[in-house]
Amino acid sequence: MHTPILLNTISLSFGSQCCFDEFSAEIYPGQRIAIIGRNGSGKSSLMKLLRGQLDPSSGEVIVPEDVTIGYVEQTIDDYHELSGGQRFNQRLSEALALQPNALLLDEPTNHLDRNNRKSLIRMLKHYYGTIIMITHDKTLIEQCADTLWHIDNQQIHTFSGHYEDYIQKIKHAREHIEKQLDQLKREKKDTHEQLMREQQRATKSKRKGEKSVSNRKWPTITSHAKARRAEQTTGRKKAAIDDKRQTLNEQLAELRLPEVILPTFHLDAEQSSRGEILSVRHASLGYKNQPCLLNDINLSVSASERVAITGENGSGKSTLLKALLQNKEVSRQGDWRLPEAHGIGYLDQHYNTLNQDRTVIEALEALCSHWDQTSIRQHLSDFLFRQNEAVNTPIPQLSGGEKARLSLCLIAARSPKLLILDEITNNLDLETKEHVTQILRHYPGSLIVVSHDDDFLDALDLDRRYTAESFR
């Protein structure tokens, strides 16, 4: 147990970029907090504030002396001989050896296979102390967190409960505000129509008065005053409606929900061919001058088929993908019938296929030189690159999520027969992972996916799953 950790009206900015503003909270012993938000929103910086590695722009973080912190970072540069999952387990063991009463974890399940992920969740459920974790793993959030801190729109929103309940709360709040906006729209229309009727009556009265003068009768002089009063009343109503609408729109902006991507894929007649496009029979592989890594490999992929390859950390999944990509570092034996290199698309978590010397729009223009600017901008818009600033951003300045969307945008523009994906959801926030899932669900070609993320794999409507352990 420990004394509560206090965050008093803390704000954090880097130059003109504000991450969050005037956030206050108390962290009680035994509390389990999941920090969520877009890539680049300030999650890791908030963790640094809690660890005393960074000072807030304003406000204060008070960590009492009886708090012992154990910390495991997202990217572990030590233990080069170990896999990503093995590195995490080693660092977690070191953190727990400190006997901490507050455990801080930055994307702990990123590199864990299914068994290690289950072991981590089981350990965290039984951990006696406080847990603060940055994660995009919905299962981890649902099973190990009781409080959400969502960094969005330069604010930290807190919620006690499950993630799905939080999203439903936002949806219901948005629906309520949107109904109010519709009602205001109708009120403004009714007010305008009422003014038009008053003006029409005033015009009729004026004509009647002019006729009375010509007939030597007294004109009606009240109609003009009545019309002016109607205009003043209408003006006040319209101003009140506009003020309320502005307030509601501001509230709506704070309740931002992730956009939905409905991509268009472009395939030619050759790419949309049918039948078996990849076949590996009675094969084995390994690295030259080293023992064989995988034996008796038998797998096939037909057109439009979706296949997953799963396995424990260090089981050879990525090496198998290298063999399918005909990487010369890998030695292959057996019968390998593979598509031509131009018929295979490949993406990993680093998005190394992007040309770092280009902007977003230049990358698509280089790939689709026969497209006109309208088609270029429409295709980029489909993948949420809409404003001039966004399409002209140099690729090195893109966030991880933006690089994921651009990579898939380029694949959609010239879709290969076979798309190979190697742990592409690592390091992605929940919103970007949902975008990637939406895009891949529409992908018309064949997929081979290596991933430890069960939620992601379940969402792809897979036809088959192979395990690397079966090729031994």
CATH number of 5-153: 3.40.50.300
pLDDT tens by residue, 299-313 = 999 988 999 999 888
Please report, in angstroms and rounded to a whole number, the separation of the first and last CA atoms in the chain.
47
Helix pair angle (163-214, 222-254), 10° resolution: 170
User: Which residue ranges of the chain lie beneath pLDDT 50?
Assistant: 213, 268-270
Q: Cα(188)–Cα(178) distance, rounded to whole angstroms? A: 15
Q: What is the pLDDT of residue 103?
A: 97
CA 378 to chain centroid, in Å, comes to: 21
CATH number of 276-470: 3.40.50.300
**Domain segments of the chain as ranges:** 5-153, 169-254, 276-470
Strand 58-62: give its sheet, edge to edge: 17-27, 5-14, 58-62
The angle subtended at Cα 389 by Cα 254 and Cα 380, nearest 5°, is: 90
Q: What is the pLDDT of residue 235?
A: 62
The tokens for 348 are 């990993």
Q: What is the pLDDT of residue 269?
A: 38
The tokens for 211 are 């006729």
CA 181 to chain centroid, in Å, comes to: 28
The number of beta carbons lying within 10 Å of the beta carbon of residue 282 is 11
Buried b or exposed e, range 291-329, using 16+ CB within 10 angstroms = eebbeebebebebebbbbbbbbbbbbbbbbbbbbeeeee
Distances (CA, A) of 137 to 110, 272, 300, 407, 439: 8, 34, 30, 22, 19
Q: What is the pLDDT of residue 198?
A: 65
CB-based burial of residue 399 (10 Å sphere; 0-12 exposed, 13-18 middle, 19+ buried)? middle
8-state DSSP, 357: T
The number of beta carbons lying within 10 Å of the beta carbon of residue 267 is 15
8-state DSSP, 396: G
Tracing tokens 């896999």 back to the chain, one arrives at: 83
The tokens for 436 are 């990637």
Q: What is the pLDDT of residue 180?
A: 76
Contacts of the segment 251-258: beta carbons below 8 A, 24+ positions apart: 251/177, 252/174, 252/177, 252/178, 252/181, 253/153, 254/153, 254/155, 255/170, 255/173, 255/174, 255/177, 256/152, 256/153, 257/167, 257/170, 257/171, 257/174, 258/431, 258/434, 258/435
Q: Cα(281)–Cα(293) distance, rounded to whole angstroms? A: 16
In the chain, the largest separation of any two C-alpha atoms, in whole Å, equals 119
